[in-house]
Amino acid sequence: MYEAIKWPPDMAPSRSPIHFTNELEVAASPDTIWSLLVDHTAWPSFYPGVEHVELLDGHESLHLGTRFETNLAGQDVYASVQEFEPMTRIAWGGGPKASLDSKAYHAWIITPTPTGTHLWTEETMQGPLWIEQAKQAPDIFWRTHQKLLEDLAKVAIKRGRSSAK
């Protein structure tokens, strides 16, 4: 059984017009997956569309409360880490600079399996900017996250092989 996301009350799926989940079995250790998720410099290697991630407040990697700026879904966004349980879960919430009425909450759950890791990601989105994007391509966010999981798996497997040598 996989753990449930610890949704902020205002971002719960029942209160969000956009909600989707993606999952993937990955032949890489939870340690490897975790190391990639908390290393903002690795994101461009697996996160579709991400070109940069700037941590604020002098942090060198993601931790509980870390604020950051990046570009996601074609938007410059501010976000902060709101859940942080090493090797198990991480989540961040924030929104695009161009639409203060739009926000999102993106959570990850990492579960060890006999052959590697079960990776679960789930997101809720609210606000006019995200709703307009979803109207234009109803499955755009799900497809982007599926590619994110697949690309993360490739990078993690490659990293796992190189560290095993």
Between the two ends of the chain, the Cα-to-Cα distance in Å is 33
What span, in angstroms and rounded, lies between the C-alpha atoms of 89 and 85? Answer: 5
Sequence spans of domains, the chain = 15-164
Could you tell me the two tokens for 133? 């994007």
Give me the pLDDT at residue 161, please. 75
Helix axes 30-38, 140-164, angle to 10 degrees: 120
- In the CATH scheme, what is the code of domain 15-164? 3.30.530.20
| pLDDT, mean of each 10-residue run, the chain (165 residues) | 78 95 96 95 92 90 94 86 96 92 96 96 94 89 94 92 66
What span, in angstroms and rounded, lies between the C-alpha atoms of 87 and 96? Answer: 28
Give me the pLDDT at residue 74, please. 74
